[in-house]
Amino acid sequence: MIKQSILDALNNQVEAEATASQLYLAMASWADARGLEGISEFLFAHSDEERMHMLKLVRFINERGGKAIIPALQMPRQDFQNLHEIFEMLLEHEIKVSEMINEIVDLTLAEKDYTTHNFLQWYVSEQIEEERLARIILDKLKLIGDDKGGMYLFDRDISSFHSPK
């Protein structure tokens, strides 16, 4: 039977993934309303991925004999200054999520829960990739600055920044 401390940490993570999904959905919608087709598609897909991260946790908790808690969420930001702010926020959120995952990994070792430890390795690798991608995007946005032509190409090419998994 899964320990309560692990269960609490995993349920907390369910909330973090759901929060990320909603935040990225709000960002996607903001970009969509501005005709930034490529960027909005990227963010819609990213929001879906976060929901998948949440579902994976929900199923795991239930499989292990725990009870997943589906959380109420705060309304995410609806308005953003620009794309730079969006991707700064996204990177910040991913760094926070990585720290949370690492803390649960530490806890699984302390509690000798090797099944959950093994399950979390997927999230550890995923976080490395997500942080890397957010940094690449931010670097590109910094290079582009206010150049409209550069932004056009960025919007067109953003879907290709994902490395194959």
- Burial class of 72 by CB neighbour count within 10 A (0 to 12, 13 to 18, 19+): exposed
Q: Which residue is nearest to ligand FEO (CB)?
A: 53
Q: Which is nearer to ligand FEO, 4 or 125 (CB)?
A: 125
Cα distance between residue 92 and residue 24, in whole Å: 12
Q: Are 66 and 12 in contact (CB under 8 A)?
A: no
* CB 16 to ligand FEO: min, Å: 7
Cβ-based nearer residue to ligand FEO, 49 or 85: 49
What is the number of alpha carbons within 13 Å of residue 31 lying toward its C-beta? 25
Nearer to ligand FEO by C-beta: 148 or 165? Answer: 165
9's CB contacts (< 8 A; 6+ apart) are: 103, 104, 107
Of residues 11, 28, 68, 130, which one binds ligand FEO by CB under 6 A? 130
Q: Is 20 in the site for ligand FEO (CB under 6 A)?
A: yes
Q: Which of 50, 108, 113, 119 binds ligand FEO (CB under 6 A)?
A: 50
